Structure 1
Amino acid sequence: MKHSVRFFLLILIFSLCGFAYSAGTTASGWTLSSMEFSYKQQGKTDSKSKITQVLPQLILEQIADNSLRLISPQEDLDRQLYELQTERLSLFLQLSKENKTRDALVLSKDNPRALRKAIIESEEKIAQIKAKIDENLLKKDEITKKYEKKINPPKEEEKEEKHGFAPFPFPFFHDEEDRPVSETVSLYKNDSSALFSPSENAKTEGISSYTFEKEVTNAKINGLLTGDILIFGDYASVTVNLYVFPGAKCNGTVTEVGNTSDLIAIAQSVVRNLTPKIANSLPVKIRFDIKPEEAASNAVVSVDGVVIPSKKELELIIDAGIHSITIGAKDYDSQSITYQFSGDDLFTVRTTLKPLVSGKLNIRLKKLKDGIFYFNGNENAHVDGENMYGEASVNGKTILGKFTRTEDNESAFILIPENIAKDGNHLLVNAKPYDRAKNIDKRRRRMYTAYSALICSLPVTFFCVGNFNSATNAYNADRGTYDDALKWQKRAYGSIGVSCVAGGWFVFEMVRYLFAANEVLPASAKPDKSYKEDR
């Protein structure tokens, strides 16, 4: 009993620690927006001036949804300092108001005793506000010192050993302060066409001013894109800056040149270079474990469409974020994966490539019908009384095909599973070409008709059964006649029978409807045993 209790407590502690870890590493959203870009030149035509609005919208549209941004210690510090600054400004306004109120007491109070009492109360309020300001300043110094080591970490040889034992290998036993915090990137107002428009006063004071920062922060924007456009002829140079708020720190600058007739290409190139700066993540290393060895020796790896030169020990260092990786080899089928490579500094991609398979299989209908088999989108095979089997190419994967009857062009989908889609196989499929949508609609109407009959019969049944019970009780109490009770008994039993029949009809039609709906699934092929017997 003691061992079971200890085991339960151990499991509970591990679960709580794991929950605390997962809850502590994910924060709320990180909102990204953009201002309308500006020209470095004067006197642009209307067609060119629209670029300042369209281009930032295209850039925001190209940015991947639900991507993650790693929040740096400096950014986290700036947020907390801004909150403390906002609190101090509010407290200072309260302090100013209370001082003015205290000074006005001399003119508003005629009674010396009442004046002294009011001044004492006002002084107490002023003292409380001053204490809050001092507490705020003290908290500011504490937070700044706390983040100083994170922003400027000591060298490896200067780090102190925090524990007298080796750190536990599981991540939820690491220090809370060492865990990276990531936030999901979302667009301002969840709309790529919504651009942030500051007031004229904020524009005049500049992006680094307190007025501008206050408007951006009040709009709950964490990242703001600004841009300058320089046009010569049909070509434009676009410079995009990413500012992080609060703090108005420039987190990166990207410059691209392109044709003004292809703004999408310019936006895609800008986003490609801007994504690592938005993610704010350190590069990650990717190792590849490719099997079998024959495939690994001549494997070809591409990341986001860019082929990586082959090496004996293949390792890549790329920016953190979402990447598409494709692995292929000669005489082997390629495989692809799209994954969010972030939250760690090392990833291992393991894959087992399958040899390329080629050949032909033969398939026929269980009940022969004249028609055409369609396979792989570009193959067809006609079957009739003289030629029962249709031929299909195999590549080692599941085959989805369709059979169309020549008589009325009705179709039925067929599925050839991967395990029997092999060269030389003879298969059999019970495909039934007919209008499934029409049949489902027919079964649905019949099911609703049976359901309506059941519902309509129930009020009559309840009425008759209720009157039968009343008549029976009245007869037992010598207040009713036997004939009256017998009459309602017959009616009750009859109505119950009608409801039971209606209920059975409804269940029957519902089952038929479900079977009809299930018929939309493709018919699965099976080995043709009769072919072997004939052989």
Structure 2
Amino acid sequence: MSKISSRYFIVALMCVMIHISLFSQSNMSKDESNDEWILAASSFTVDQEEVADAETPVSLALTEIKDLLPKLILSNINLPAIRKVKPEELLSREKLDLESSYISLVSTYESKLETKDTLIITAKEDDDFKDQLEEAEEAVLEAKKELEETDLKRKELNVQDFTETSENIVLYKDDSSVLFTMPKTGEPNTIQGLITGSIQLVGEYCHAKIQLVLYPGSKILYDETFTFRVNEIKSNAAQITRKLLPVIQNEDVVSILFQLAPKEVSDAIEIRVDGELVELDSNNAIVVSRNWHKISFNCDGYATAQTLANFSEEDSYTVQINLRKLKINEIKIDSSIPLKSLFVNGLEFNPEEPFLVDFLPAMGQAVISPNAATYFIITDDGNQFLKPNTQDISDYIEKRRRLMYTSYGALLLSFPFSFITYGMYIDANYSAYSYGINNGYDDTYTNLVEKQDNLEKVSNVTMAISIGLGVNLAYQFVRYILAVNKVLPKKTKTIKSASTEE
């Protein structure tokens, strides 16, 4: 078997496997609401002559893809989902209904009129004839009245008579693996939306033209062509669904034009909207729903940029992005203690050798032992000095916390002794003074004064102890705060070379 044939057989086999996966998935159950908007997908047509020959690998691949792609698109629609129905669409639906009723009533009116004319020409003039003619004339008048009323309703329709509503989106037969077959004549009356299209296979690439048709009215709401590798059909089907979904849900959309700088990033940049990878059209634009969106920009050799903005006020926006080229910085870490391991921006480096980082500031971790690590920030390139932690920070913080609370407890315990002895001193002082005033300065007074002096000394000692414990508490609190701050990353210090200092 040739190389090309083998490739197409592999593609066909892959398609069959995805088919099996789709059939094994059960779709979301439909909402119990009566207002449903039924979405279906039909088998895609093939714009290629090889399909006529069922024996070729290309034909086999096309046969699989034309059914697989619409099924994958449907399977990527997350249900339950709501579709907005604008007044203009409701007006269009009502007009189509009245138009259909009007055509039917015209046919009925002409039939009744023909019946009356036939009766006049062929019937005999007797009592039965008069009754039959009267009935025929009444039928004609009634049909004419209905016809005129319908015509009047049709002419008086106005968009202001309708208000926006919503419908629950459900899949045809509640199954993404079931494709819809179009009737041979007329429009389908069991669905409201149909995903259809055509495919063409060129080498390893598939060109798929995707359309979304609205019924009744056969209005094409979406028409776009996609090109992708056949072996990437699953991821591209998800992208097609993402582009179709705002149209299916009838959301208001806006266009975002990107002006990228420098120019060389245009071909290599990766743009994501709300985490989903998107591709720009030929005008460097995308279409998104009117809402808040987070947009990120990634390109090798440039710093990642992102923005979160509200795209709901205007019909189109322009986003200007100037990516900053990353500078390769050579760093060498010198420390007061030999490092066991060194990590910077999540990558491990040899602590003894210089290393390269593509942007600054950079976050790192220096490890001395399994229990001693230091986080640091590098803001400049060149030689950097770091004084790492030499012990387990969590244990050190816990030790300082215990000492602080022990000091606090000791201070609280000292207060009763200080207050009591001071109170006793004040009481003794008052007793001696009162006794001396009333009884004179005898031996009892001398004893009271001696007692007062002793209590004053005790009070001063207990007060000094409380003050000392208070000072110690403040000291331990400061040490605790300093210990807690060791958790914060340290900023390295740039070591200036001799030439720089000169």
Q: Under TM normalisation by the shorter chain, which class is it? A: 0.3 to 0.5
Query: TM-score with structure 2 length normalisation?
Result: 0.47
Query: TM-score with structure 1 length normalisation?
Result: 0.45
